[in-house]
Structure 1
Amino acid sequence: MSERWARAALQTYRWLGSAFYPFIGTYVAIRASRGKEEHGRRRERYGRNTISRPEGSLVWVHAASVGETGAVAALIARLRGLGIEVVLTTGTVTSANFARERLGEDLLHQYVPLDIKPAVSRFLHYWKPDLAIFAESEIWPMTILELGARRIPQVLINGRMSDRSFKRWKKRLALAESLFENLSHVAAQTELDAERFRTLGARPVTVTGNLKVDVELPPVDNAVLNSLLGAMEGRPRWAAISTHEGEEVISAKVHRALRKFWPGLLTIVVPRHPDRAPALRKMFEEHGLKVCHRSEDTELTSDADVFLGDSIGEMGLYLRLTDIAFVGKSLSGTGGQNPLEPAMLGTAILSGPNVSSFAEIYDRLCEAKGARIVADETLLAKTVHHLLLQPKACAAMARAGARVVDDLSGALDLTWQSLDPYIHPLRVQAALKKNARDDGEDGVNDRQTQEFGHGWT
């Protein structure tokens, strides 16, 4: 694809977005009816503000979903600690709720505008960000072009480029270069990611590691944790987390195979999308398994076969209930899910072979013997059985995974260094604003002191 055709393709994308803009309301309304949008905040998808913009410098941070929101939480806290205002956008209701829980109700949050020129332009015109920061792999052509046209620095942090995305972009190299040349900086997770971004025209690109390694794990309600541990006491158990369609059926079959050897076995299943819980309960019951819901049942009964973790933001709770965790989207799905949180919380990690999105992390974990790759449900069942039979081997895997996490830490500081050239001017402006405000207050206090003194003369 030539440069001329790339420009034409982007222009066509712009025109099509503008042409369909009047009809997007139906699409957003359908999403809202399915619980994927907040009814009262649908206008934010069109770039219309629902909260006031504070005065002074402002950074726009975008994180698509819960995982990315957790990854940028510490970064946002640092920015706000310097007096720099931040508006966070996310793409899902669950990530919005998670952001409020993690960063507080005073967080400036909006749903990300649709990647259509009228919506993006309206959002940028109102918020006037001094810097835009995007997490991981969110590449929105119109947003990138509109930021570029306004000469607003835009930085991609925790940058990741999957095999599939790289192949797709490489086939349209001129188009990729037309977009990626607008990025001021790419802070990539790995050397492989960095090389892929460079191939697609991004400059400069640095390797800063994975921000999810440096995530401060959210606190757990100890009363709930102790109650569940008490209900599970003495029961052998394992977990299948971040599961995708098909992997819950595999979990049911593994449970039925293992309970012959492990009476009282409990399988903890945490689906990637909790809204699938009703359908999953029905499926488990069809397999002859009794299910307890985290969100519905008041207690975990002793005869439950499956504990269905269908709540949001409680992965830390579920992982603290087990020593063995199978990480999903790796047997019936593709790309895998991030294994770092299980490693951080001391579980032996199992995964299917489809982990291309986290290949380097899994390579490190497997090399250190902190994780094992299982080819199918039969091998998954055999490995869970082995780890239940050999608790010392299970504990050794957990320790090895924790060491890998320690070795990978430091991404937050490296990312902060890569952002410093763009943050430093905003830090200075924030300091000047604070000094001016303090001087104003001191002036008022001096005047009040003088008036108070005059009253005694």
Structure 2
Amino acid sequence: MRIGLFIYNLLYGVSLPVLLTVAKFTSKKRGGFSVKRRFFSFPSESQVEGRDIWIHCASIGEVNSARPLIEKLKDRAIVTTFTDYGADRALKLFPEIPVYVIPPDMKPFTDRFVKSLGVKKLLVYETEIWPSLLTSAIEQKVEVYFVSGKITESSFSLYKRLSLVLKEIFNSSVFLARSDKDAERAKELGFAKVKTVGDLKFDSVMKPKPVNVSIGNRFPIIVWGSTHEGEEVLAGKIHVKLKEEFPQILTIVAPRHVGRAESLLSLLPGKAVLRTQSKNVPSDTDFYIVDTVGELSSFYSLGDIAVIGGTFNEKVGGHNPLEPMVFGIPVVLGPYYSHFQGVISKIKECIIFSTHENLFDKISLLIKNDELRHRVGVCGKRVLEKERSVTERILKEVFV
């Protein structure tokens, strides 16, 4: 084993008991963490027979975004995730595809895991880098592609510092970038082949099935999607101010981690109802809290305005702003969206940018101005159509 990878495995092994304990604790609100699933749920030959493509996604958001690619390859694919809730989402979307959680990133485990898959190509969505797992794949002659790859400024600095461990991985992998900026960084890191194909998130946005809920004649309906700590408080303050002028307002809140949903009942300043409590929203409800997985995109269809969570929490860096656009409703973003800068650079003319301080004014203006609300919504819908076909460009590069 090369010295850099040896040191990494040594440090990882020493830290593993602590890492597992921390992961078990921090995942309680995110769907749980199974140690057994990581150590003992290796595929058998019969489970993966005839499947030669391995698609890896970090978690639930990445599974959703990679959906068009997985759909195209579903007869040949095996899907892996890092998180349990990501795997559960993949199983729900693709019950016919084998889905596994990757093992701890130590060579004895990753060697066995890769061998059990028996695949020819690995497609890593965005840039989920596990040194031992990727090294095991490369050593076993698996072709590695980073698809719709992204390298943020902070990640770029980190990867350069870890060049002793990562250099050979990059030299043996193909990087299919989401943007020219990501491609430039990949070239500097030394990837074997680099090409810009676009952001797969544009292909992943599609109209979902209608949501089974009875709301009645409410206006406006503000949907806060994928919220984090502090953002629900902000949603509550905005709601209270708007209600003075718009008494029929309904605020729908979908926390990023559904384990936090119940705590919002006492946090929000008004009558709040959980999705799992009732599919009928009483007329005096102020906040309808989505405590289910996979329904957020359907709830956007009910909204007059969408506010994207994670963009008002500096620690998060934003979430996908594209899902509401398919319905032609205006999208409001806060000041923090570093994780989606590539996407936002292409849709910035169709976004309402806001700060904490002027959020009320921005939303109020959209409610009052029907023409503005319609124009911003239509703009986003048109951009979505223009930026599609990323899946086809990826497949063309992978299956030359």
One fold, TM greater than 0.5? yes
Aligned with 2:293 (options 312, 315, 321): 312
Shift of 1:112: 1.5
Shift of 1:390: 0.8
Q: Distance in 1 between matches of 2:25 and 2:367?
A: 46
Contact preservation (8 Å) 1:316, 1:345: no
Q: Distance in 2 between matches of 1:385 and 1:22?
A: 51
CA displacement 1:226-257 (0-9 Å, x = unmatched): x43xx241432212111111111111111112
Shift of 1:276: 0.6
Partner of 1:159: 149
Q: Distance in 2 between matches of 1:78 and 1:293?
A: 36
Aligned with 1:242 (options 212, 226, 232): 226
Question: How do residues 6-25 of structure 1 correspond to structure 2 at under 5 angstroms?
Answer: 8-19=3-14
Aligned with 2:81 (options 77, 90, 98): 90
Q: Distance in 2 between matches of 1:169 and 1:335?
A: 19
Partner of 1:433: none
Say which SS state the counterpart of residue 123 (structure 2) adopts: strand
Distance change >3 Å, CA 47–CA 58, structure 1 → 2: farther
* 1:343 matches 2:332: no
Aligned with 1:329 (options 291, 304, 310): 310
Distance change >3 Å, CA 26–CA 373, structure 1 → 2: closer
Supply the AA of the counterpart residue of 1:359: Q
Contact preservation (8 Å) 2:335, 2:353: yes
Distance change >3 Å, CA 331–CA 19, structure 1 → 2: closer
Shift of 1:25: 6.8
Q: Distance in 2 between matches of 1:308 and 1:157?
A: 34
Unaligned runs of 5+ in 1: 1-6, 422-457
Contact preservation (8 Å) 2:222, 2:250: yes
Q: Distance in 1 between matches of 2:256 and 2:242?
A: 24
Partner of 1:147: 137
* 1:295 matches 2:271: no
Contact preservation (8 Å) 1:208, 1:411: yes
Distance change >3 Å, CA 47–CA 193, structure 1 → 2: farther
Question: How do residues 28-427 of structure 1 correspond to structure 2 at under 5 angstroms?
Answer: 36-37=31-32, 42-46=35-39, 48-49=41-42, 52-81=46-75, 84=76, 86-103=77-94, 105-183=95-173, 185-215=174-204, 217=206, 219-221=208-210, 224=212, 227-228=213-214, 231-284=215-268, 287=269, 289-333=270-314, 334-366=316-348, 368=349, 370-376=350-356, 378-421=357-400
Contact preservation (8 Å) 2:39, 2:104: yes
Supply the AA of the counterpart residue of 1:67: G
Q: Distance in 1 between matches of 2:238 and 2:51?
A: 54
CA displacement 1:301-354 (0-9 Å, x = unmatched): 111111111211012221011121111211223421111112222220110121
Q: Distance in 2 between matches of 1:22 and 1:238?
A: 43
Q: Distance in 2 between matches of 1:273 and 1:264?
A: 28
Question: Does 339-348 or 29-38 show the bigger shift?
Answer: 29-38
TM-score of the aligned structures, taking structure 2 as reference length: 0.91
Supply the AA of the counterpart residue of 2:148: N
Contact preservation (8 Å) 1:59, 1:132: yes
Shift of 1:72: 2.5
* Paired positions, count: 398
Say which SS state the counterpart of residue 73 (structure 2) adopts: helix
Q: Distance in 1 between matches of 2:85 and 2:207?
A: 16
CA displacement 1:155-188 (0-9 Å, x = unmatched): 11111112221232234445442431231x1111
CA displacement 1:204-235 (0-9 Å, x = unmatched): 1111111121126363245x1xx43xx24143
Contact preservation (8 Å) 1:47, 1:119: no
Say which SS state the counterpart of residue 155 (structure 1) adopts: strand
Say which SS state the counterpart of residue 74 (structure 2) adopts: helix
CA displacement 1:93-115 (0-9 Å, x = unmatched): 33223222222x22211111121
Contact preservation (8 Å) 2:53, 2:123: yes
Distance change >3 Å, CA 238–CA 164, structure 1 → 2: same
Q: Distance in 1 between matches of 2:106 and 2:161?
A: 24
Q: Distance in 1 between matches of 2:255 and 2:27?
A: 22
Q: Distance in 2 between matches of 1:29 and 1:337?
A: 24
Supply the AA of the counterpart residue of 1:277: A
Distance change >3 Å, CA 24–CA 330, structure 1 → 2: closer
CA displacement 1:54-90 (0-9 Å, x = unmatched): 4335222111112211232232232234xx3x22111
Supply the AA of the counterpart residue of 2:265: R
Say which SS state the counterpart of residue 325 (structure 1) adopts: strand
Distance change >3 Å, CA 35–CA 194, structure 1 → 2: closer
Distance change >3 Å, CA 316–CA 48, structure 1 → 2: closer
Contact preservation (8 Å) 1:335, 1:355: yes
TM-score of the aligned structures, taking structure 1 as reference length: 0.81
Shift of 1:92: 2.5
Partner of 1:451: none
Q: Distance in 2 between matches of 1:208 and 1:304?
A: 45
Question: Does 57-66 or 190-199 show the bigger shift?
Answer: 57-66
Query: Of the two, which has the highest radius of gyration?
Result: 1
Unaligned runs of 5+ in 2: none
Contact preservation (8 Å) 1:325, 1:350: yes
Q: Distance in 2 between matches of 1:283 and 1:36?
A: 21
What RMSD in Å do the two structures reach over aligned CA positions?
2.5
Distance change >3 Å, CA 47–CA 27, structure 1 → 2: farther
As a proportion of its length, which structure holds more helix? 1
Q: Distance in 1 between matches of 2:281 and 2:237?
A: 21
Say which SS state the counterpart of residue 54 (structure 2) adopts: strand
